[in-house]
Amino acid sequence: MLKKSGKQLLLFFAGLVFFISAFAPYDIFAAGFCGLIPLLLIVKESNFIKTFVLSALFFLLVNIWQLQFVVSVMVNYGSSSNFFALLALIFLSLFLALLSALFFSLPKLLRLGFWSLPFFFTLKEIWQEKIFSGFPWCLCGYTQSSNIWFLQWAEYGGIYFITFLVVLANILLFYLLTSEKKRRWLLTAALFFLFFHSFGYFIYHRTEQKLNRLQQHKAGVIQPATVERVFSPAEILSELQKLLQESAELARAGAELIVWPEYSLPVTPAQTPFYLSKFSEFAAKYVPLLAGFNDEQEDKIYNAAFLFSKNGQQVYYKQHLTPFGEYIPLRAYLFFARRIVEAMADFSAGTSSLPLDLNGHKLGVAICYEIIFTNLVRKIVSNGAEVLITISNDSWFGRSQAPWQHLSMAVVRAVENRRYLIRSTTSGISALVQPTGKVVYRSALFAQEKRLLKFSYIQEKSFYLKAGHYFSEFCLFCCFLFTVFQAGRLKRKSLPELTSR
């Protein structure tokens, strides 16, 4: 008994290591194809309750490891106490773990085989983007963000299709290990990996050939390496002059657009004529400038991206705000932390997904946290965006794994929508991602960088843009059918037992 428990404990922690190492910054994508197998082996003969408890513990530990940055965000960005921030991390990790455990255990509850798990687990990730405003951070499919050939399938079903395939791979390898028909499962698994990687290779090179035929443009991206702190007026002016000087150098080098990060400076240009004039003068003399600032309108505060040009300025307001950073979810119910809650101001959410116009081209802007939401980004591109620009203030992540995770999710948005993605952050990681998912430029963390990046405007719509979330609906429909038919079968099976009594 002790020997069996020790073996299961070893399997449990091996699964944790495999599963976590598949995500950024480790990016051992092969581990993603087997990270769930140890857990499946442990619960193979278990009932629903035991499967639920063990999987909840598994995903709780995974979430705590991956979401460590929540404490830093709430303390440094949300003015929270360490205690409340730690409490929030535990509750958020526990909620996500319970959600994962429920869907992971449903095959047991319905007495279905593990073959049904890819459908249920994909449904879990769909709900994770929607429930309580959504928090689709590090979904299972992101284990393949660096697996460039396999990742091409994101165009045909989004990140959810990648999740489905990753879980399916785990199931195939699980059956290979546990079934007596080794040869059949070995052949099935081999065909699975061969098909999705070889055709992914073909899709990748076909897309790359299309990109080579497009006209190239240049954008200048600046990473100032600033951190979230209080600036004196003199420091603000000094930093502004430095940014404008670097931007002018990029413009002279051929940049057609300059991109600064979210919260570039602690100023509100729309309400401050002095700063507004500085940005307007730069845009009139050189090239348009896209930069992130706060914007105050009456009694509301917005997280905004301003596009300054010789024709004036346009603005995009962040629509999906960061919980506990920019607003307090369920504020009225957090009575136990009233002093902290009252000290944190709420930002207001924007309502428009329309791209910004740059000399007839459409810029799709996503601010920070928004880039992880497939629906929101798809809507922006569907409205005509020809390139994706995401600006972020990742300095409050510190040197955690979060900046790498954030970038890995942005990579998938580029593939889903087949758009170049330009990323400017305050302290890293700034990047240029091709529509194939290839990261052609990646900045260092907390380093001052300015870079001239080549990209193309794309108007062609990807399959994902045309078809929408058909795969999500397919999984939902399948799970509904599984539940109805299995419930009916179990009911019919129990009738003879009742009759015999």
pLDDT of the residue at 468: 83
| DSSP letter string, 134-200 | ---TT-GGGGGTT-HHHHGGGGGTHHHHHHHHHHHHHHHHHHHHH-S-HHHHHHHHHHHHHHHHHHH
Confidence (pTM):
0.90
Per-residue model confidence as pLDDT tens digits over 214-235: 999 999 999 998 766 567 788 8
Other C-beta atoms lying within 10 Å of the C-beta of residue 141: 28
CA 492 from centre of chain:
44
Tens digit of each residue's pLDDT (9 = 90 or more) over 5-21:
778 889 899 999 999 99
Query: CA 491, CA 38: separation in Å to the nearest integer?
Result: 32
Assess contact for 407 and 430: CB atoms under 8 A.
no
CA dihedral (97, 101, 102, 104) in degrees, to 10, reads: 140
pLDDT for 498 equals 46
- d(CA 492, CA 371) in angstroms, rounded, equals 48
**SS3 of residue 267 by DSSP:** coil
User: What is the model's pLDDT at position 336?
Assistant: 44
Task: List domains and CATH numbers for the chain.
Answer: 2-210+469-500 (no CATH), 217-466 (3.60.110.10)
Sequence-distant (6+) residues with CB within 8 A of 501 are none
Name the CA radius of gyration of the chain, rounded. Answer: 24
- Kindly state the helix (H) or strand (E) to which residue 105 belongs, with its residue range: helix 82-109
**Local mean pLDDT, 10-residue blocks, the chain (501 residues):** 73 93 94 95 91 95 91 71 82 92 92 91 90 84 96 95 96 93 92 96 95 94 79 84 94 95 86 90 94 87 92 91 64 45 63 91 94 93 96 84 93 96 93 96 92 95 89 87 78 57 49
Q: What is the pLDDT of residue 342?
A: 43
Residue 138 has a pLDDT of: 86
Residue 140: HSE in the Cβ half-sphere, 13 Å Cα cutoff:
32
Across the chain, mean pLDDT equals 88
pLDDT for residue 496: 57
pLDDT, tens only, 136-181: 888 999 999 999 999 999 999 999 999 999 999 999 999 999 988 8
Q: What is the DSSP letter of 108?
A: H
The Cα–Cα gap between 433 and 421 comes to 5
Instruction: Collapse the DSSP code of 449 into the 3-class scheme (helix H, G, I; strand E, B; otherwise coil) and give the result.
Output: strand
